Amino acid sequence: MTNSAVPQRGFAEAGADLELVGITKRFPGFTAIENLDLKIPAGSFFALLGPSGCGKTTTLRLIAGLEDATAGRILIGGKDVTETKAYQRPVNTVFQSYALFPHMTVLENVAFGLRRRRVGGAEALAHEALSLVELDHLSARKPAQLSGGQQQRVALARAVVNRPALLLLDEPLGALDLKLRRQMQIELKHIQSTVGLTFLHVTHDQEEAMTMADTVAVMNKGVIEQMGPPEELYELPHTTFVATFLGQSNLATGAVVTSTGTTVVVDVAGQKVSVPRERTRRHNGEVTVGVRPEKVALHATEPARDANRNVLGPGRVTDVSFSGVSTQYEVTVPALGVFTVFAQNTSIARMHHDGDEVWLSWEVGHTFGLADGDASSPASRFLDDTDTSMIATQRREQLETELEEA
């Protein structure tokens, strides 16, 4: 095949959908991904969220063509690319390590891929991409003359300028400081909505996933435990892992003592906790119920009990952490353990102190019931994902080889 055929590889003018069908990836001695099915709509901002070792980076490498699947199919825009080489896929990847060419200017870095594919007007398109990330005024500089945040924007412009059907983001903001990372989260979302491409963002940062993504898939031990809009996953987690990984949760386990058409009542160490029937995955037997810390209120005296509120106590404040906007309380309740409470600092006079006796209460409608019981999580059978800097180095070496050949 001649180079003239390269522009016909299917680089899209808009995002395409991605579908994984029965994807399995086995390495010697362990399985990283097992029978994974996933469909990402075209033009969406999708986040694959999970801890190190859950298989998320392996999934990204399979989609990018950097790894071969043991079983299953990968379809982009309805076309099976499972056996297609990485450079032939309509995919670009932005890594945590930027892998910019140090001897090239910013403009040359962004235009490199276009020129390799003999796309007309490469320089004008590169200027357009740099304008999108607000760096066109620095187009003549070298990467070493830019800050970390600016280098990340150049890497993003270099990926977006190729108009890939699918843009993969592998922990792209991990090297930035907190303030810049939050700024880039907003800008990434704006860029995605502007260019209309399909973004797949792989991260372990829960806040980052919830800030940017339309849909979040929480991954654990090679499978997706729950998928949906960020607010749905946060307000109504299905498993212990999702409830504790995506934010904090107060969890307690007990036996169902009453189950009606609207409410399930659980006996938790002798105290009754009600949960709406549609908000619990189990309706009989042992059930783990939970509530988010910011939903819980503290009371100096026992509050009146009614059908619309759950009340636990008395307990004792064992730790107070002031963070400005809110105060975090750790409250130890006999036979139940420690409950965490986030209280907004509306009045300094209302603060509780170490050793105070308190009661906890929250609206029944904020309670959720999980699909799994109180069993502790088994040890992961997966090893940690390959560090993304290694992948970025491999990608850079590949690009440098292409440059030398050109």
Q: Do domains 3-231+385-405 and 248-369 have the same CATH topology?
A: no
Cα gap 115→131, rounded to integer Å: 19
User: How many CB atoms are closer than 10 A to CB 298?
Assistant: 21
pLDDT tens, 185-194? 888 888 888 8
Domain with residues 248-369, CATH architecture: Beta Barrel (2.40)
Longest dimension (CA), the chain: 80
pLDDT tens, 136-162? 999 999 999 998 888 888 988 998 888
321 has which bridge partners?
328
Contacts of 41 (CB under 8 A, 6+ apart): 17, 198
The pLDDT score that the predictor gives to residue 397 is 56
- Among 61-75, 162-176, 204-218, 382-396, whose mean pLDDT is lowest? 382-396
The pLDDT score that the predictor gives to residue 389 is 45
The answer to pTM > 0.85 is no
> What is the Cβ-side half-sphere exposure of residue 404, based on CA atoms within 13 angstroms?
6
Residue 245's pLDDT band (cuts 50, 70, 90): very high
Residue at token pair 């522009």: 7
Q: Which helix or strand (DSSP H or E) is residue 254 part of?
A: strand 250-259
The pLDDT score that the predictor gives to residue 402 is 55
The pLDDT score that the predictor gives to residue 77 is 92
Q: Where are the beta strands (DSSP E) in 292-336?
A: 297-299, 309-322, 326-333
Residue 59's pLDDT band (cuts 50, 70, 90): very high
- Among 110-119, 212-221, 224-233, whose mean pLDDT is lowest? 110-119
Residue at token pair 């620095």: 138
Percent of the chain with pLDDT over 90: 59
The pLDDT score that the predictor gives to residue 388 is 45
- Residue extents of the structural domains in the chain: 3-231+385-405, 248-369
In this predicted structure, the answer to whether residue 68 has a pLDDT above a threshold of 80 is: yes
Query: Does the domain spanning 3-231+385-405 belong to CATH 3.40.50.970?
Result: no
- Among 46-50, 55-59, 363-367, 369-373, whose mean pLDDT is lowest? 369-373
Percent of the chain with pLDDT over 70: 87
pLDDT tens, 372-393? 865 443 333 333 444 444 444 5
pLDDT tens, 290-336? 999 999 999 999 998 889 999 999 999 999 998 888 899 999 999 89
The mean pLDDT of the chain is 86
